[in-house]
C-alpha cells in the first residue's frame, strides 16, 4: 500500500492530468442529476446521456415523471441496461419526491437512500455534485483504481470508501473521486492498465 507521504503526490499528479474531471452525466439541476445517476447503474454515462434529453423533455420535473406511464418511460430508456427496472424506480422516486419533499431532492444521506434506486454511491454523488459536499462515491472505476494503485487494500466497495475517507484529506474527497474515475477510464483500464503512459508510474503499487 502507498506510504502516507506518497498519497499527496499521487493526488496532485492525477488532478494535474485530469483538470476537467467532473461528473460526466449531463444535467441541469439536482432532479435531473439524481435521475441520471440512478439510470447510470451498470451502464455507461455516455449511454445515459443519449436518453436523458428526451426523458427530461417529456418529464421536466418530478411531478410529470410521477404521473408517467411506465411503458412510455421504458420506451425512452430501452437503449440502456435494466431499462424496465430503472423506469419503475425513477417513476417511484419521483412520486416520493412529490409526496414527501415538495418535489425537491433532499440534501441529507438518510433521506436519499430511502428513495427507490438510490444506494450509497448514488447518494454520495448527489451530495457531492448537487449539494457541494465532500464525498467519495465508489463505483467500479474508483474501486479498481484505488486498490490497484495502492491507495487502499480492500475487498469490497464499502470498505474501500471508508478506507479512502481515512487516507485522503476530506477537502480532497470529491476531486479525488472524479480523478480516479477519469484515470480508470482513460489509462488504468480494467483489462490492461497503460502503465507506459501513466502519470503516477513509479509511485503506484501496480506491478505487471
For the chain, which residues make up each domain, given as ranges?
4-21+136-197, 30-130
Active site residue 108: no
Q: Does domain 4-21+136-197 have CATH number 1.20.120.1200?
A: no
C-alpha cell at 52: 436523458
Q: Is the pLDDT of residue 208 over 60?
A: no
Active site residue 155: no
Question: Looking at 6, 50, 86, 139, which residue is catalytic?
Answer: 139
The torsion defined by the Cα of 20, 46, 200 and 198, in degrees rounded to 10, comes to -110
The two domains 4-21+136-197 and 30-130 share their CATH topology (first three levels equal): no
Of 148, 172, 154, 204, the C-alpha closest to 15 is 172
Rg (CA), the chain: 18
C-alpha cell at 190: 480494467
- Asked whether the beta carbons of 141 and 185 are under 8 A apart, the reply is yes
Q: Is the pLDDT of residue 7 over 50?
A: yes
| Residue 14 CB partners (closer than 8 Å, separation 6+) | 176, 179, 180, 182, 183, 199, 200
Question: Looking at 86, 95, 121, 175, which residue is catalytic?
Answer: 121
The torsion defined by the Cα of 99, 104, 110 and 116, in degrees rounded to 10, comes to 60
pLDDT tier at 204, thresholds 50, 70, 90:
confident
pLDDT tens readout for residues 47-98 = 999 999 999 999 999 999 999 999 999 999 999 999 999 999 999 999 999 9
pLDDT tier at 205, thresholds 50, 70, 90:
confident
Q: Is the pLDDT of residue 111 over 90?
A: yes
Residue that wins the pLDDT comparison between 1 and 162: 162
Q: pTM of the prediction? A: 0.92
Question: Average pLDDT, stretch 26-51?
Answer: 96
Cα–Cα distances in Å, from 101 out to 43, 69, 104, 105? Answer: 28, 22, 5, 7
- Which residue(s) pair with 193 in the sheet? 188
pLDDT tier at 17, thresholds 50, 70, 90:
very high
Q: Can you give the pLDDT at residue 132?
A: 97
Q: Can you give the pLDDT at residue 36?
A: 98
Whole-angstrom distance between the N-terminal and C-terminal Cα of the chain?
Answer: 16
pLDDT tens readout for residues 127-182 = 999 999 999 999 999 999 999 999 999 999 999 999 999 999 999 999 999 999 99
CATH number of 30-130: 1.10.340.30
| Residue 58 CB partners (closer than 8 Å, separation 6+) | 64, 68, 72, 76
Q: Can you give the pLDDT at residue 202?
A: 86
Amino acid at each position: 500500500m502507498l506510504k502516507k507521504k506518497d498519497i499527496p503526490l499521487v493526488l496532485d499528479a492525477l488532478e494535474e492530468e485530469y483538470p476537467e474531471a467532473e461528473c460526466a452525466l449531463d444535467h441541469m439541476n439536482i432532479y435531473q442529476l439524481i435521475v441520471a445517476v440512478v439510470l447510470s447503474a451498470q451502464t455507461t454515462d455516455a449511454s445515459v446521456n443519449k436518453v436523458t434529453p428526451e426523458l427530461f423533455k417529456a418529464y421536466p420535473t418530478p411531478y410529470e415523471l410521477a404521473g408517467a406511464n411506465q411503458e412510455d418511460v421504458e420506451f425512452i430508456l430501452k437503449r440502456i441496461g435494466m431499462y424496465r427496472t430503472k423506469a419503475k424506480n425513477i417513476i417511484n422516486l419521483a412520486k416520493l419526491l412529490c409526496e414527501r419533499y415538495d418535489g425537491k431532492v433532499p440534501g441529507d444521506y438518510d433521506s436519499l437512500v430511502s428513495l427507490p434506486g438510490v444506494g450509497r454511491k448514488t447518494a454520495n454523488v448527489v451530495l457531492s455534485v448537487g449539494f457541494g459536499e465532500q464525498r467519495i462515491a465508489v463505483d467500479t472505476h474508483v474501486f479498481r483504481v484505488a486498490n490497484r494503485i495502492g491507495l487502499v487494500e480492500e475487498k469490497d466497495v464499502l470498505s474501500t470508501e471508508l478506507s479512502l475517507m481515512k487516507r485522503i484529506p476530506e477537502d480532497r474527497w470529491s476531486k479525488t473521486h472524479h480523478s480516479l474515475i477519469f484515470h480508470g477510464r482513460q489509462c488504468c483500464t480494467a483489462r490492461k492498465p497503460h502503465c507506459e503512459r501513466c502519470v503516477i508510474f513509479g509511485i503506484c503499487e501496480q506491478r505487471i
